Amino acid sequence: MPKYDDFQFKAEARLSSKDIIDVIGIGAYDIVSLNLEANETDAQKIILKSIPRSTQWNYTIGARYRHFRENSYYTVVVSRSHLNNTAIKYLNNDESSQSNLTFKYDSYEIENKVRVENTTRVKGFKINTGFGFEDARYYNFIKQKFPFIGEFSNQSELQFYKYSGFAQASKNFLENKLILSAGLRADGSTFNSKMNNPLKQLSPRISLAYSLNERWSINANSGVYNQLPPYTSLGVRNEKGELVNIDLEYITCIHQVLGLEYNTMRDAKITIEGFYKSYNNYPFNLRDSISLANQGSDFGVVGDAPMASNNQGRSYGVEFLYQQKLRNNFYCLLAYTLVRSEFQNLSNVFVPSSWDAVHLVSATAGKIFKRNIQFGAKLRLNSGLPYTPFDVNATVLKANYDISGNGILDKSRYNANRLPLFYQLDVRLDKKYNFSKWLLNVFIDIQNVTNAQTFQPPLIAIERDVNDNPLTSANNPDSYIPRLLDNTSGTLIPSIGVVVEF
């Protein structure tokens, strides 16, 4: 039973014709509680047994100062972000005794940032340079019981600094037919000796766009991007209080993109782009024998385990886009992506990642009729994502199922199965009324008009008697009797709305 609350604000002050200050803030307060009354079906029982209660709140607030000069301006940005997470789980949701505690998590991440940059124009060049500094603070407490492994407990507090410098220049050539841009960025941190030299994390980037004629143009870009591993991995400590993952390195990704664009001269354009991305130094979870890139798609803590920066990944594919602007009261947007996403497994073999969707289709179209009536539709379609089947025998062991209440994955068949095709069609009908000083818009919106069902990886339950007691396997007294359950969702959602504009 999730409850979400959020806020945002923005303010601007013009101190003079050359000085402007912007202040922006955004935040959220979210609670996930358990509806213990919904305990009738096997699926509900699995959810109640496996998902923890949790509370999360976060905010970001920042100020930007800009001072304008002749042919240039400089910018100073100061911000603070704070994320706080707590989660707790008891065996059978019985909180009467601490001995029933199976999972407890409390953490926060705080980032205080400052960035200074200067943008200038000289002899047709646009040049942007700057530097950034960040104070990063992290706290984590976790206590968890794992099947086979036993109880794991860790408490860690971390503070270190991040710094960066960057420069970028762009210019038009050949009578504006060629647009060329090149840049360089360097990142460093005080977390360890491998990261503190920013020259080891250089990120060169270059892009160009060339107009062949009024209809055809090509674009290409290549770049290196470096990213710090998550705080949950950086902050893991052992029983002696020592950092376990002190040898982690920056994650490096190299992008290569080549595209072609065709303008029909009838308010429409067609683009096609090919891309290839290679990932290096990706953290590999040594406890679970899985790349960190493939974790985080379900409830739980991601990255709180011994890690090694030795995993590699890749994603590659082609994207097609057709865009028809409003013509004869009709518009449409059609996008198709063919993509493969793969990361190495324990044997250094590339296997499909958890995000390997392969085929992605998105289509939006609309028609404007007389009397300010407009009809629109949106279709989304993609092939099913891969998933790892359960190790059924390990799951139904009483010592395991009583703790987790959920399935244990068969890592020898990682992402060997794939979900069925997903699609959803949404439609909307609008009617607008224009008055002298205000506008009224009445609409009917129907999401998932075909009531299509979305398939998720199956759930695994155990057989129970008429009194809801688990049944023991006749072949193994240490195990329950397993039962796989379909895991589907999806419903038709109609809504009626009124919009008033003054």
The structure's pTM equals 0.85
CA 166 to centroid of chain Cα atoms: 25
Average of per-residue pLDDT across 333-350 = 94
Between CA 388 and CA 414 the distance in angstroms is 5
- What values do phi and psi take at 294, rounded to 5? -100, 10
**Contact yes or no for 363/334 (Cβ under 8 A):** yes
Structure tokens that stand for 360 in this block:
């992605």
- What values do phi and psi take at 408, rounded to 5? -105, 125
Residue 458 scores a pLDDT above 70: yes
Structure tokens that stand for 286 in this block:
């040594």
- What's the pLDDT score for residue 301? 66
Number of residues assigned to the chain: 502
Structure tokens that stand for 191 in this block:
């977390």
Residue 160: closest CA among 85, 212, 96, 110: 110
Residue 102: closest CA among 91, 115, 113, 92: 91
> Would you place residue 403 in the very low, low, confident or very high pLDDT band (cuts 50, 70, 90)?
confident
Structure tokens that stand for 439 in this block:
């506008």
Between CA 285 and CA 59 the distance in angstroms is 30
> Would you place residue 256 in the very low, low, confident or very high pLDDT band (cuts 50, 70, 90)?
very high
Which residue is it, tokens 């960057």?
166
Between CA 246 and CA 308 the distance in angstroms is 10
Between CA 178 and CA 493 the distance in angstroms is 48
Residues contacting 462, CB < 8 A, separation 6+: 396, 401, 470, 471, 480, 481, 482, 483
CA distance readout (Å), 120 to 75, 78, 184: 11, 21, 17
User: For residue range 176-210, what is the model confidence (pLDDT) as tens digits?
Assistant: 899 999 999 999 999 999 999 999 999 999 999 99
Share of the chain above pLDDT 70, in %: 98
Helices (H), 327-425: 392-395, 398-404
CA-based R_g, the chain, Å: 27
Structure tokens that stand for 307 in this block:
């890690």
Residue 106 scores a pLDDT above 80: yes
Between CA 460 and CA 467 the distance in angstroms is 20
Residue 41 scores a pLDDT above 90: no
Average of per-residue pLDDT across 449-474 = 90
- What's the pLDDT score for residue 307? 95
> Would you place residue 128 in the very low, low, confident or very high pLDDT band (cuts 50, 70, 90)?
very high
> Would you place residue 399 in the very low, low, confident or very high pLDDT band (cuts 50, 70, 90)?
confident
CA distance readout (Å), 91 to 31, 145, 239, 243, 464: 20, 10, 25, 30, 18
User: For residue range 155-177, what is the model confidence (pLDDT) as tens digits?
Assistant: 899 999 999 999 999 999 998 89
Residue 337: closest CA among 275, 384, 388: 275
Residue 221 scores a pLDDT above 80: yes
User: For residue range 271-311, what is the model confidence (pLDDT) as tens digits?
Assistant: 999 999 999 999 999 988 889 988 755 555 678 889 999 99
> Would you place residue 49 in the very low, low, confident or very high pLDDT band (cuts 50, 70, 90)?
confident
Between CA 315 and CA 381 the distance in angstroms is 20
- What's the pLDDT score for residue 243? 94
- What's the pLDDT score for residue 446? 97
Structure tokens that stand for 160 in this block:
């270190």
Residue 312 scores a pLDDT above 70: yes
Between CA 145 and CA 401 the distance in angstroms is 12
Mean pLDDT of the chain, nearest integer: 92
Identity of residue 119: T
Torsion angle (degrees, nearest 10) of CA 465, 468, 469, 475:
40
- What's the pLDDT score for residue 484? 87
- What's the pLDDT score for residue 163? 97
Between CA 116 and CA 127 the distance in angstroms is 14
Which residue is it, tokens 């009617």?
431
Residues contacting 65, CB < 8 A, separation 6+: 19, 20, 21, 75, 76, 77
Between CA 102 and CA 146 the distance in angstroms is 8
